[in-house]
Structure formats: structure tokens, C-alpha cells
Amino acid sequence: MQKMNRGILTALSGIGIAQGLKILTHKRLTGEWDVKQVASTGGMPSSHSAGVTALASYIAWNKGSRHTETALAVTFGMIVMYDAQGIRRHTGEIAKLVNDLEDNIAEISGDFPSFEFVEREKELKELLGHQPIEVLGGAILGGVLGFLSAKLENR
């Protein structure tokens, strides 16, 4: 039987471990256990960063920094991490503003009976992206996992 690709296994492990750690960081921040954090977007550490950094560092340790596969993994990883802390985070901030605006309109509409306002059933999801420190936390986790995976494989 053929084993699973070690690079994929390393990247998926980074994502899984980062998602699991979100339960602990949520507990530390709020004082409450919330198992649903394992399926959340945003938060500490970034699973996007952990996954792509685990893969890139695993490849770099196995193939070397000058190999084309390393260049591809690093470039792909940089794009993913930039997106996680940039565009996705800003989208979440806009969602928060829209949700607040809708709450304000709902409150004001009570003063004007002729104003027809239909509230949405669900608010927009606000926690989409990552703060730079969350991306860095995921990158450190992924780098360590990629290094360990490469060293364990090459023993």
C-alpha cells in the first residue's frame, strides 16, 4: 500500500493543529471553552499560514532553497498569507460596519411607522481574516511542523 504524500500530510497537519489551537486561544481570551472555534475562520493562529508555511518549509528542508518546488510553495504561501491578513480581514471589518448600520436603521425605523424596514435573518460574518500577529503565529507553527516533518522523514 502506498503512503500519503508527506508534503500534503504536513500541510494538513498544520491546518488541523492550528484550528485546534483556536479553542485554547479563545478560552484564554474569553474565559469560555468553545469547541466550535475548530471550524471558525480568523483567530489565532492562522491555519492558512500554518498550512502553507508547513508545506514550504517541508519542501525547502527536503529539496533545498534553490529548488523550483520551494519557490512555488513560498510564493503561493506569501499570497495566501497576504490575502488572509489583508483582503479577508478588511472584508470582515466592512461586514461589522454593515451589521452595525443595519442595527441602527432597525432602531431608528421604530420612530417612523411609515418606514418599512425588513431585518435580515442573519448578520454578515465578521471574523473572516487575520491580524498580522495571527498570521505570524500560524507561520511559526507551520515552519516548526515543516522542519520536524522533514527531519523525521529523513532519519
pLDDT, tens digit, for every residue of 101-150?
777 776 776 666 666 666 667 766 656 667 888 889 999 999 999 999 99
Considering only residues 131 and 20, tell me which one the structure prediction assigns the higher pLDDT: 20
pLDDT, tens digit, for every residue of 71-82?
999 999 999 888
Q: What is the mean pLDDT of the chain?
A: 84
- Which pLDDT belongs to residue 117? 63
pTM here? 0.75
The pLDDT of 3-29, averaged and rounded, is 90
Residue by residue, DSSP assigns the chain as -PPPPHHHHHHHHHHHHHHHHHHHHHHHHHS---GGGGG-SSSSS-HHHHHHHHHHHHHHHHH-TTSHHHHHHHHHHHHHHHHHHTHHHHHHHHHHHHHHHHHHHHHHHTT-TT------SSPPP---S--HHHHHHHHHHHHHHHHHHHHHHT-
- Which pLDDT belongs to residue 88? 67
- Which pLDDT belongs to residue 140? 96
Tally Cβ neighbours within 10 Å of residue 28. 9
